[in-house]
A and B are shown apart, each in its own frame.
Chain A
Amino acid sequence: MKIVFAATGGNWDSKVDSRFGRAEGFVLYDEEKDELSWHSNAENKAAGHGAGVQAGQKVVSLGADVVVTGGNFGPKAAEVIQAAGIRMIPDAGEVTLKEAYTKIKK
């Protein structure tokens, strides 16, 4: 399974970002390969409108099965993610990626 976290940094101790569309970036965790990769969201953070759409598109292109954010998905981001059939987990809270991952696995 591939899990994407909205995150403020690129390692397990980084915090889950409470924003989605304008999150600092996204961390992709590929369970099979046990690989963590960082994907900056700088271009969307700086977008005028439609940051959610672009961020959603990015998550889709990363091939995610599940996507996690600390707060809520905006309505437009949610529409993109849903259309691609990706599972959304909102409200993970202000926790580290490690904590969020452990919680999901339970």
Chain B
Amino acid sequence: MKIAIASGKGGTGKTTLAVNLASYIAGLEDVTGKVVLVDMDVEEPNSGLFIKGDLMKSEIKYRMVPEWIGDKCTFCKKCAGVCNFNALAYIGVSVLIFPELCHSCYACSELCPEDALPMKADRMGELRHYSISDNLHFVESRLDIGIEQAVPLIKETHDFLKSEYDESDIKIVDSPPGTSCPVIEAVKDADLVVLVTEPTPFGLNDLKLAVDTMKELDKRFAVVINRSGIGNDEVERYCFDNGISLIGKIPQMQLAAELYSKGQLMIEIDEIKREIDKIWRNIVELK
């Protein structure tokens, strides 16, 4: 089972829910198999600040980019002409390659008449695999600073999960914020997407964007309200009016904000633990 936790904007409690939910269900007796928390917010992976364990494995992740072989090049400029991403510059004496702009489409490489642009592996980031407890694991992928494409690393992370874990293991995915390409890749094969929002006009506005995205992708989704008690009831009304399952409300508590600030789990607070339990029961029913 794969559950993706997402939100229209950052800072609504996406990581909070992912980390606390994964930790909570790993401690449940009726959960058999492994629970894996996966941080796919590869540009700003923050889950690891809340969860510590033993590093089992670390893998450097690569993608393919062209390499210019000057001896073979006849300066026909075809490569710079076919690149739609401006990743190649022809400057008279040489061809410069900007790997961070390359989308690994292979067009320049395979259309080069002289084979002067073979593809080679280029580092984009690192995947780390931790053991937190007997049945709780943590996978974190981190994009190197300066690499602009998050999608290939997210793809690699999905592949890693497929090779390491069974279909029946529970994967909780902390997705990137927003509604652009990385989010779409992160939630791709999720059985259910949980959208986290706050009960304020900002939260509602961003939730609507996220809901539109899920509809466009034809994804099953449900909503969790974080910091319930602030703002107004318009998010709730929106969910009700549109037939969207609202599967939990995590209460606003100063203590919770303080625990979060220190990088600690909120399930230490009974009231929040009960709500996380309810969210989990609802997820099981929905997925």
Contacts and interface: CB of A to CB of B under 8 A. Distances in A.
Contacts of A54: 86, 89
B86 A84 contact: no
A50 B91 contact: no
A57 B80 contact: yes
B92 A53 contact: no
Contact of A83 (B85, B88, B96): B96
B133 interface: no
B58 interface: no
A49 B96 contact: no
Chain A to chain B: the 7 pairs with minimum beta-carbon distance, closest first: A50-B86, A57-B89, A50-B101, A84-B91, A53-B86, A60-B91, A80-B89
Interface in A48-66: 48-51, 53-54, 56-57, 60-61
Contacts of A79: 96, 98
A11 B92 CA distance: 28
A51 B92 CA distance: 19
Given A49-B101, A49-B148, A53-B98, A83 B91 contact: yes
For the residues of A in contact with B, the DSSP-based class is: helix
A88 to B, nearest CB: 14
A61 B98 CA distance: 18
Interface residues of B, number: 16
Contacts of B93: 84
B94 interface: yes
Nearest to A50: B86
Contact of B91 (A47, A51, A76, A80): A80
A49 B91 contact: no
Interface in A68-106: 76, 79-80, 83-84
B17 to A, nearest CB: 32
A47 B90 CA distance: 17
Interface in B70-86: 80, 85-86
A1 to B, nearest CB: 18
A49 B101 CA distance: 7
B244 interface: no
Contacts of B100: 76
B87 interface: yes
